[in-house]
Structure 1
Amino acid sequence: MVILVQHSNNLSTGLSSGSDPAAGALSRSGHTAAAVVLGFILVLGFLGNFLVLVVFSRFPRLQTPVNLLLINISASDMLVCIFGTPLSFAASVRGRWLTGTYGCRWYGFSNALFGIVSLVSLSLLSFERYSVVLRRTQPDSSQYRRARLAVAASWLYSLVWTLPPLLGWSSYGPEGPGTTCSVQWHQRSATARSYISCLFIFCLLLPLLLMIFCYGRILLALRAVARQVSRLNRSSAERREGHVLLMVVSMVTGYLLCWMPYGVMAMLASFGRPGVVPPAASLIPSLLAKTSTILNPVIYVLLNNQFYRCFLYMIRCGSEDPPTPVHHPLPSRRGVWLHALNPPTEEQNTAAPMFTSREL
Structure 2
Amino acid sequence: MGTILNGSLLYTLIRNNILRQLSTNILIGGLLLGDFIGAFFEIPFPALSLIYCRWIFTYIGCVFEAIITYFVGCSNMYMLCLISIDRYSIMTRSFQEPSGIIQRTYTSIGCVYILSLFWTIMPLLGWSSYDYEIRNRRRWFTTKLNQSSVRRRLLIERRVLHTISLVIGGFLIAWTPYAILVVIRAFFDANHISPIMDTIPALFAKTSFIWNPLILIVRNGNFRQYIPFITSKHRSQSSK
Asked if TM exceeds 0.5, the reply is yes
Q: Could you tell me whether the CA contact under 8 Å between 1:55 and 1:314 is conserved in 2?
A: no
Deviation at 1:310, TM superposition (A): 2.2
Alignment of 1:140-179 (within 5 A): 141-178=99-136
Match of 2:18 in 1: 61
Match of 1:280 in 2: 196
- Distance in structure 1 (CA, Å) of the matches to 2:160 and 2:234: 30
- Distance in structure 2 (CA, Å) of the matches to 1:51 and 1:290: 19
2:134 is the alignment partner of 1:134:
no
Number of residue pairs the alignment of both structures matches: 234
Relative to structure 1, the CA distance from residue 247 to residue 82 in structure 2 (aligned partners, 3 Å threshold; closer, same or farther) is closer
Q: Could you tell me whether the CA contact under 8 Å between 2:5 and 2:210 is conserved in 1?
A: yes
Relative to structure 1, the CA distance from residue 268 to residue 66 in structure 2 (aligned partners, 3 Å threshold; closer, same or farther) is same
- Distance in structure 2 (CA, Å) of the matches to 1:124 and 1:281: 33
Deviation at 1:239, TM superposition (A): 6.9
Match of 2:56 in 1: 98
- Distance in structure 2 (CA, Å) of the matches to 1:68 and 1:316: 24
- Distance in structure 2 (CA, Å) of the matches to 1:245 and 1:128: 11
Q: Tell me which moved more, 285-294 or 249-258.
A: 249-258
Q: Gaps (5+ residues) in structure 1?
A: 1-43, 186-220, 320-360
Deviation at 1:301, TM superposition (A): 5.3
Relative to structure 1, the CA distance from residue 291 to residue 159 in structure 2 (aligned partners, 3 Å threshold; closer, same or farther) is same
Q: Secondary structure at the residue paired with 2:197?
A: coil
Out of 183, 202, 207, the position equivalent to 1:291 is: 207
Match of 2:222 in 1: 306
2:1 is the alignment partner of 1:49:
no
- Distance in structure 2 (CA, Å) of the matches to 1:275 and 1:56: 47
What percentage of aligned pairs have identical amino acids? 27
Q: Secondary structure at the residue paired with 2:75?
A: helix
Q: Which amino acid aligns with 1:83?
A: F
Out of 144, 159, 175, the position equivalent to 1:259 is: 175
Deviations 1:52-80, CA, capped at 9 Å, x for gaps: 01211221211132211111111111111
Q: Which amino acid aligns with 1:150?
A: S
- Distance in structure 2 (CA, Å) of the matches to 1:144 and 1:241: 18
- Distance in structure 1 (CA, Å) of the matches to 2:43 and 2:135: 16
Relative to structure 1, the CA distance from residue 118 to residue 46 in structure 2 (aligned partners, 3 Å threshold; closer, same or farther) is same
Q: Secondary structure at the residue paired with 1:250?
A: helix
Match of 1:119 in 2: 77
Q: Which amino acid aligns with 1:151?
A: I
Deviation at 1:267, TM superposition (A): 0.9
- Distance in structure 2 (CA, Å) of the matches to 1:106 and 1:274: 25
Q: Gaps (5+ residues) in structure 2?
A: 236-240
- Structure with bigger helix share is 2
Relative to structure 1, the CA distance from residue 229 to residue 54 in structure 2 (aligned partners, 3 Å threshold; closer, same or farther) is same
Structure exhibiting the larger radius of gyration computed from Cα positions: 1
Q: Could you tell me whether the CA contact under 8 Å between 1:65 and 1:143 is conserved in 2?
A: yes
Length-normalised TM-score, structure 1 = 0.57
- Distance in structure 2 (CA, Å) of the matches to 1:57 and 1:238: 27
Length-normalised TM-score, structure 2 = 0.83
Deviation at 1:266, TM superposition (A): 0.7
- Distance in structure 2 (CA, Å) of the matches to 1:59 and 1:269: 46
Q: Could you tell me whether the CA contact under 8 Å between 2:184 and 2:190 is conserved in 1?
A: no
- Distance in structure 1 (CA, Å) of the matches to 2:61 and 2:161: 43
Q: Secondary structure at the residue paired with 2:131?
A: strand
Runs of 4+ in 1 over 4 A off after TM superposition: 235-246
- Distance in structure 2 (CA, Å) of the matches to 1:286 and 1:65: 32
Query: CA RMSD for the aligned pairs?
Result: 3.2
- Distance in structure 1 (CA, Å) of the matches to 2:199 and 2:154: 42
Deviation at 1:240, TM superposition (A): 6.5
Deviations 1:222-279, CA, capped at 9 Å, x for gaps: xx99xx845x99x989976874674355233212211122211111100012324323
Q: Could you tell me whether the CA contact under 8 Å between 1:269 and 1:276 is conserved in 2?
A: no
